[in-house]
Structure 1
Amino acid sequence: MAEPVRAGDTAESTGFDLGHGPGRLLVWLYGVFTVAAASRSVVQMILDFGRAPLAYVLSAAAAVVYAFITYSLVRGGRRARRAALVCCAAELAGVLIVGTWTLLAPSSFPDATVWSDYGMGYLFIPVVLPVTAMIWLRRAPA
């Protein structure tokens, strides 16, 4: 049986888990994207880094952002929520910047990144995921 919440308890001390309910799907998706982006970038950097170093480094950066968001969602609490919101905003900015860049200057990207063409290679999930996560993080109880 769970302990009752006492007056003065915060989300941080009660251990509210952002990864429950709809947040569980976000945790799962961010976990999958962490593995996908990390493994893709590691393999590409090992096999042919000179071909498209910018694309491969950007995919690795995406993996780090995804991993941090996954961790924050699992951790829960106010600080984790704020950190996840900041990272989701940074992720969305990255998707929009890189997506636009790949459309305007495709020669800069001889190979695709996770965020190329707004995540088209990943069914546009990279552009939808941070928006969905930010909505969930703003609506989840504090």
Structure 2
Amino acid sequence: MTTTTSSRSTGVGRVLIAVYGLLALAATGRSVFQLFDDFDRAPVAYSLSALAAVVYIVATVALIMPGDVWYRVAWITIGFELLGVLVVGLLSIFDPVLFPAKTVWSMFGRGYGFVPLVLPILGMLWLYRHRARPTAAASAEPRAV
């Protein structure tokens, strides 16, 4: 079956990729500083900041790259991001002792203007709207019974 993959890096997709790129830079900078400067103070929180940075980097690359494999990688990383924001956000509210220092995803990304909470939702909507669709030639191919 032949499919066409619409470009995810045009129009609004460019803005989405730019925001992911900015968050990747911000989260990477924050986590590197936290890990080297004061890791003993909050190892879980600082490790989560580093994990968030990796997720944002992979999501940015996956949104830029064409193809079905990168499309799936984008879904996986953005889905993981949403899950991370929700879990860490809830835990940071209901059990703040777990997070003596802020992370990118603490309080649902409040330190980043709640962008970490909204961005994966927008990313998933964008991916859904730009999913691969079968071409006319693929739907005209005889099916094996």
The alignment's TM-score, normalised by the length of structure 1, stands at 0.88
Whether 1:41 aligns to 2:31 is yes
Q: Does the Cα contact within 8 Å between 2:20 and 2:57 map onto a contact in 1?
A: yes
Partner of residue 55, structure 1: 45
SS at 1:110 equivalent:
coil
Q: List gaps (5 residues or longer) in structure 2.
A: 133-145
Q: Which has the larger radius of gyration?
A: 2
Which stretch of structure 1 is more off in the superposition, 55-64 or 72-81? 72-81
Deviation at 1:17, TM superposition (A): 2.9
Residue in structure 2 matching 1:96, options 66, 79, 86: 86
SS in 1 for 2:41: coil
What amino acid sits opposite 1:11 in the alignment?
A: T
Identity of aligned residues (%): 45
Pairing 1:83–2:76 present: no
The answer as to 2:100 corresponding to 1:110 is yes
Write out aligned runs for 1:2-13 (5 A): 10-11=3-4
What is the letter of the counterpart of residue 85 of structure 2?
V
Residue 78 (structure 1) shift: 1.7
Verify the 8 A CA contact 1:11 1:78 in the aligned structure 2.
no
List structure 1 runs of 4+ shifted beyond 4 angstroms: none
Q: What is the aligned counterpart of 1:130 among 105, 120, 134?
A: 120
Return the offset for 1:111.
Answer: 0.6
- Judge conservation of contact 1:58–1:113 (CA < 8 Å) in 2: yes
Q: TM-score, normalised by structure 2?
A: 0.86
- Computed over aligned residues only, the root mean square deviation of the Cα atoms, in angstroms, reads 1.4
In the alignment, structure 1 segments of 5+ residues that lack a partner are 1-7
Check if 1:65 corresponds to 2:55.
Answer: yes
Name the residue aligned to 2:14. 24
